Chain A
Amino acid sequence: MIQLKTMLNCIDNSGAAVVECAKVMKMHRGAKIGDRIIVVVQKQRNFTDTGKGTSVGTSAANKVRRGDVRHAVVVRTAKKYQRPDGSVVKFDDNACVLINKAGEPIGTRLNGVVGVELRKMKWSKILSLAPMHL
């Protein structure tokens, strides 16, 4: 349930670390997994950070700066999401992936688990980039 002023983690290597939701591109108050939103970058990812294992470094080409306004897709919500078979998913945080207006992800790699609802919402590119989906 991502809405105006919600802070999300950006889990790709586009350069943003924390973004704030500015608009939900649907006629609903809250965005769920797989919904498109417009975000404002609040925190930049440290470029010299070369973490082991799961964190990814940013490429110089598509760096996103603080204050940039971009489109994004919600991939994890802390709000429970119900599936048709009766099971319910809930992540511990809210996360998104930055995309351009056409719907292609800006970053080249993803870091973290994403919700499987992306398949139904036709975000197959993001789903294929994800290391794990649930």
Chain B
Amino acid sequence: MTPTTPSLRPLSCCKALLRQTGLQKPAARSMTTYFNKPQAAFHKKLMRQEEPRKVIKVIAPPPSTRKVYKEPLKDVTEAQLAILDPTGSRTNLFSKTNTDAAKVGDILLVRLKNGDPFAGVCINIRRRGIDTGILLRNELTRVGVEMWFKIYSPNVEGVEVVQRKEKRARRARLTYMRKPKHDIGSVQNIVLAYQKSRGAIRGRADDGPVGHENKGGKRKVKGKK
């Protein structure tokens, strides 16, 4: 071979070497160990052909609650409404789809099982399913009082619409009524007038005692406007 320039690849000779050793690989692959015939039982285990299949107990997954109760809150509300409002009248009174519903801005009278009846302008209806509440504002002895009532509470015996607002209020929450400019003040007169008219109708219909329903005021109305 003609002498070449000094190689720029110093490890080039190793490649040839490796190629040679690579030739030995198949030889190594074909190397075998001596095969001793295994014992009978061992052979069986190895082959696993005659042994019956071991049945692993698979326990079925528990019934999925999610599939049965797709909307749990709705179900709970319905269950509770069945107890607290079986006729559905209370729900209907505050239902959005009912045209004759009690709306924000109306004057409502709430009769309770324990306590005096409370009347006032409805300034807020908070809809939360079974926890739906209404906020009534009234003025008692020249002090403004606001009360929240849960409409489905067992303590609430009845809710009546004393006076409807002629025009629909342009807001859902009438908190502006707390300001003196818009404050209606006492609702007492309106409630008394309503109860009188109701009492009169009742009197004509039943011929029973008139005036027993008039438990609104402790003092006489002196034409306060």
Contacts and interface: CB of A to CB of B under 8 A. Distances in A.
Contacts of B114: 85
Interface residues of A, number: 20
B145 A54 contact: no
Contacts, number: 58
Given A85-B153, A87-B149, A134-B118, A113 B143 contact: yes
Contact of B147 (A88, A92, A111): A88
Nearest to A116: B115
A112 B149 contact: no
A93 B144 CA distance: 8
B146 interface: yes
B145 A92 contact: yes
Interface in A103-125: 111-113, 116
Nearest to B149: A87
B150 A112 contact: no
Nearest to A95: B143
Interface string B140-177: 11111111111001110000000000000000000000
19 contacts: A54-B141, A85-B150, A85-B153, A85-B155, A86-B131, A87-B149, A87-B155, A90-B146, A91-B145, A91-B146, A92-B143, A92-B145, A93-B143, A112-B142, A112-B143, A113-B140, A113-B143, A113-B145, A132-B218
Contact of A132 (B115, B140, B148, B150): B140
Contacts of B178: 92
Interface residues of B, number: 22
B51 interface: no
Contacts of B153: 85-87
B207 interface: no
A113 B101 CA distance: 31
A5 B115 CA distance: 34
A36 B159 CA distance: 36
A67 interface: no
Interface in B110-145: 114-116, 118, 131, 133, 140-145
A5 to B, nearest CB: 22
A88 B131 CA distance: 13
B141 A89 contact: no
B173 to A, nearest CB: 15
Interface string B186-198: 0000000000000
Given A116-B115, A131-B218, A132-B218, A86 B143 contact: no
